[in-house]
Copies of this chain bind each other. A is one copy, B any other.
Amino acid sequence: MVAVNPQPNPESARIERHSLHDAIVTRLRDMIIEGHLPPGTRINEGQIGAQLGVSRTPLREAIKYLASEGLVELVPSRGAVVKAFGAKEVLDMIEVIRTLEQFAATRACQIATSNDIGAIRDLHDEMVACYRSGDRLRYYKLNQAIHSGIVALAGNAALSDVHGMLQTRLKRIRFIGHEGPEKWANAVAEHEEMIAALEARDEGRLSAILGRHLTLAWERVKDSLQP
């Protein structure tokens, strides 16, 4: 059975010995995604370090890690700034994600077990419940988990890896996305179709729906972006 976690935490089974590094990376990443550190912000090492209660050294290491992830940009002699994505860049990312998810869909329909698909279905049902109750944050996280989950069904670590990376870069932007109620309803309906196609193991249909879904995701966010 393939791992399907909301938090793609590899080896979450074993105890966490001690890893300040991971803690800082995760914390910083969340601060960026949740908008505490808006795009364009210069990261002041002294200030953030004091805020997190750590010295500059491990903080700097975490920043370098996030720089490689593409969330921050390293400017020589001026530190790191939170990366800002323009409309074209976002569209590009979405198109790559579409390509990856469609590839994943094909594989998933071929090799996924019923249990695997059932796990996705459970996530979906939970997500629909959040939709009905208006729990936006939780809905959003489950939404991401479903997409990551389908990708995970393909059983390809490299695929999950790059997909997760692009998804992370887009997280802050997609969070803005589902604004209007009717758009939100559409998104839920699309997901419903997705799950149905997955359960029917209909590669072509799943692929088509995913493609459409991401096109609509683009429609939802594009107006809130700078050129």
Chain A interface residues (CB < 8 Å from chain B): 17-19, 21, 57, 60-62, 64-70, 74, 76-77, 89, 92-93, 95-96, 99-100, 103, 156-159, 161-162, 165-166, 169
| Interchain CA distance A184-B61 in the complex, whole Å | 42
Residue of A21, A68, A70 with most partner-chain B CB within 10 A: A68
Interface residues of chain A: helix, strand, loop or mixed (majority): helix
| Interchain CA distance A162-B93 in the complex, whole Å | 10
Number of copies of chain A assembled together:
2
Q: Could you give 7 example pairs across A and B, Cβ below 8 Å?
A: A17-B77, A61-B61, A65-B65, A68-B69, A96-B162, A99-B100, A158-B169
Given contacts A92-B157, A156-B96, contact A21 B70 (CB under 8 A): no
New A-B pairs, 16, CB < 8 Å, besides A21-B64, A62-B64, A92-B156: A17-B76, A18-B76, A19-B76, A61-B64, A64-B64, A64-B68, A65-B65, A67-B68, A68-B68, A89-B158, A92-B158, A95-B103, A95-B156, A95-B158, A99-B100, A158-B169
